[in-house]
Amino acid sequence: MTMASVRRALVVMMIVGPVLTLINQWDRLWTQGPAPLQTGLTFLVPFAVSLVSAWLANRDADTKNAASKS
């Protein structure tokens, strides 16, 4: 896991998180205000997906590179 992967995941989170929050909590945002736990999880999910995807892609690339060297 690299810092570049973490930074990229943070960018994804900051773009996708608000969009998902608006989609999932539109009515609640205007009537009761945001639900902190749900909003936090809504931001955490794209971060986690992006980070795990980057990790898996790096792992697969390392495996292919190791196989091609042998």
C-alpha to C-alpha distance for 47 and 61, rounded to whole angstroms? 21
- Spatial CA neighbour of 51 closest among 18, 8, 21, 19: 8
C-alpha to C-alpha distance for 29 and 26, rounded to whole angstroms? 5
Looking at residue 70, its pLDDT comes to 65
User: In order along the chain (70 residues), what is the average pLDDT of each group of 10 residues?
Assistant: 91 96 91 91 96 93 78
**Helix, strand, coil percentages in the chain from 3-state DSSP, rounded to 5:** 90, 0, 10
Looking at residue 46, its pLDDT comes to 97
Q: Where are the domains of the chain?
A: 14-61
- Name the pTM for this structure: 0.81
Looking at residue 23, its pLDDT comes to 94
Reading the block at residue 7, the tokens are 């930074």
